[in-house]
Structure 1
């Protein structure tokens, strides 16, 4: 429950933070901030993501006690990467007199990536040990620092690079402030030869597992980054700001929802595989996929229905009139990306066969590129947004075919998936008439009515086994009808 509480807090704070920074900076500077932030995320993915993935997949409470050298190796790898990235940031800043603002944004992105990488690594260590209270403390400290530092910096400087630096600093400080709680037992003295052999074998395993995932995730980060630059080049930074706010708000909602589940579900699958064998791990991944779809699909329908009311109530005035249009174009792709990350990718992760993720990323990037070239001229920036969705949808379909067809296909609970689709359709039909109300009435009415309809169907038919899980956790379990 502490993990779920942490993600609720994180989701609310991230949403509020994005809207506040957009309000203070305005469309043009927010566009610069969004471009720089996308660069920081891409750098974090390229340089630090393998650490997070390795911790999530190969670190546990058992490993912490029996093989503490694994954590020591990961810590040293993080430190070495930071040293290299600091050097790159200093070089970028040194080039500012020649290049101008892009060098400053690049330097700020490198610095922000250091903080983001340390925070994600610390969060992964807490996940792997199932220490929900520690994870909650980390998130609370981070948000307690992020809001005043980033908003205060935006207010004082109105500078995109300075706000990025404040964001990276807040995450770096949060991880440092709780570092003692992450400490492992001291590493026992071993011969240098054995330590070297163990590290070499572990690095080969971690790299073979993590690098394909990193490559795929990097492609998925570079696609929006390139699209934002294309929008800025075609229509200016203000238009890139409109595009970025819709992409960031929608992306944060779905990534937060999916990650909240993934924090628990993937570790349960890893534990099942470690305890009961590979087949048990795959069965758990299949059940996990149904749970992810049961959350993401109705959330997407609800977000689509609520977008006009959300724009009228919460979106800064300078962005209104653009937010809903970009949201509707980007939404299919954001949903596809969430389903890939949290329902399909774990299939290949539990098998330790992650190369298909790279192929899916390449397919998505090619479709995005072709779509942008075909749609940008007749439809302008809106065509680029549509091309991004087409790219993510193509990648999801490719990965789904690889996972769910052939002799080694995963057997999904199709009854549950069909029930999710029907329940989501019923929920959407119930809230459609409410969209025409005034924004302050439509927002709560859609949330209450849609939530009640979907929850009732979920409970009545025990979709994805969620009723059984709730009763097992909080009361006496009964058989599904």
Structure 2
């Protein structure tokens, strides 16, 4: 229960930052903050995610294991962290404030702070110290909300806002107090084993995270900081909300599926197909609700300075993030359960390559713009999802539940039509109540067509 509370609080803090900070920063500074935050998260994933996965899996392994993996993990983590911190300090010292070198140092320092915190949390989770894990997570969430918004309000500078996030990670890391139980220079074989295990497991997630970031850089490069701020905000809000849903799916729905697959691989394939249905149903419903909110309530949570470019791309931003989540929390999760993560990496890499080629084509034909960049992203993601679905069916010997998926698409279409009618023709009071009406339409549609409902999503048959 405490872990669920910490999850909710962490997501509320992240969403709170996302909704409030555009009101504290001018568009150019928000763009600086958003790009540095997203870049720092990717840098943290590249540097530390493979090690974090290794900590979760092997930090409590048998001390008689000749590979001495816990000791090797501790040495590797501290080694990578130490080198990254030194490099970050050098970049900050040698670069001009506001220049590319200084910014790179700031991003790297954020990555180090997040990496240190995530590593300690992984160690707590692996050793089943769940109470301390949850309390530390909640403390970090509260600190990040207070310090980030206080820094943004006081200094009106995106770099100081990011500094608030960095401080929250550092303070929470000191509170976590989880350090390697012993250190030993790792044997070459241990390093190779951990790198093969961790890098391959983390690669798909890194690439999936890099794809929206590449779209952000393309939009900023084309339109500049002020004009692209609203478009970045549209992507950021959709990503925070939908990935919070994805995290909840992993905690509530995925673990029972893994257990059933381990017990009976043949029967487990049916549960894997059922998990895919649940993921598609939940993200489709979330997409409809978010699109409706973007249409009728956008003026309440998007400042006027951001509204123009936000409105232009909000539809494409939501659909693109939904596709990212369908692949990450649906198809990639199935590949991980089935031991076929190579297909997660391949399909994610293909989508990234297609997006880059699409942007090159747009630039060559002088057709590049905020909308066209997101269309290129949407098409690349669509190809990646379709290919991943085909590979899941063929390589995991899993029959895709086309009948239920088609019913989900039908309910989604009806709900979209209903939301459009409410947004265009209803009065303000009815529009506010429309959110509840749309949710009821979706739930009743799913239930009447045999797709499922809350009982199935909570793991009950």
Fold-level match, TM-score > 0.5? yes
Paired position in structure 2 for 1:112: 110
Paired position in structure 2 for 1:393: 382
Residue 30 of structure 1, CA deviation: 1.0
Q: Assess, with a 3 A threshold, how the Cα gap between structure 1 residues 64 and 159 changes in structure 2: closer, same or farther.
A: farther
Please say if 1:349 is aligned against 2:336.
yes
Select which of 175, 178, 181 maps to 1:177: 175
Residue 440 of structure 1, CA deviation: 6.0
Q: Assess, with a 3 A threshold, how the Cα gap between structure 1 residues 245 and 66 changes in structure 2: closer, same or farther.
A: farther
C-alpha distance in 2 between matches for 1:100 and 1:347: 43
C-alpha distance in 1 between matches for 2:407 and 2:125: 30
Residue 282 of structure 1, CA deviation: 5.0
Paired position in structure 2 for 1:85: 84
Select which of 391, 394, 402 maps to 1:405: 394
Select which of 456, 461, 471 maps to 2:444: 456
Residue 334 of structure 1, CA deviation: 0.9
Select which of 327, 335, 348 maps to 2:322: 335
C-alpha distance in 1 between matches for 2:282 and 2:39: 29
More deviation, 427-436/145-154: 427-436
More deviation, 251-260/230-239: 230-239
Q: How does 1:378-457 map to 2 (within 5 A)?
A: 378-405=367-394, 408-436=396-424, 441=429, 444-457=432-445
More deviation, 145-154/133-142: 133-142
Q: Assess, with a 3 A threshold, how the Cα gap between structure 1 residues 12 and 469 changes in structure 2: closer, same or farther.
A: closer
Please say if 1:300 is aligned against 2:287.
yes
Q: Is the 8 A contact 1:306 1:435 kept in 2?
A: no
Q: Is the 8 A contact 2:280 2:330 kept in 1?
A: yes
RMSD of aligned Cα (Å): 3.4
Paired position in structure 2 for 1:28: 28
Structure 1: where are the runs of 5+ without partners?
A: none
Q: Is the 8 A contact 1:35 1:228 kept in 2?
A: yes
Q: Assess, with a 3 A threshold, how the Cα gap between structure 1 residues 59 and 412 changes in structure 2: closer, same or farther.
A: farther
Residue 156 of structure 1, CA deviation: 1.8
C-alpha distance in 1 between matches for 2:434 and 2:137: 29
Please say if 1:47 is aligned against 2:47.
yes
C-alpha distance in 2 between matches for 1:432 and 1:66: 63
Q: What whole-Å deviation, never above 9, does each CA across 1:352-383 have from its counterpart, x for those lacking one? A: 33222232133112221232233452352221
Q: Is the 8 A contact 2:319 2:378 kept in 1?
A: yes
**How many equivalent residue pairs?**
458
More deviation, 79-88/225-234: 225-234
Query: TM-score with structure 1 length normalisation?
Result: 0.83
Paired position in structure 2 for 1:14: 14
Q: Assess, with a 3 A threshold, how the Cα gap between structure 1 residues 126 and 144 changes in structure 2: closer, same or farther.
A: same
Give the SS at the match of 1:25: coil
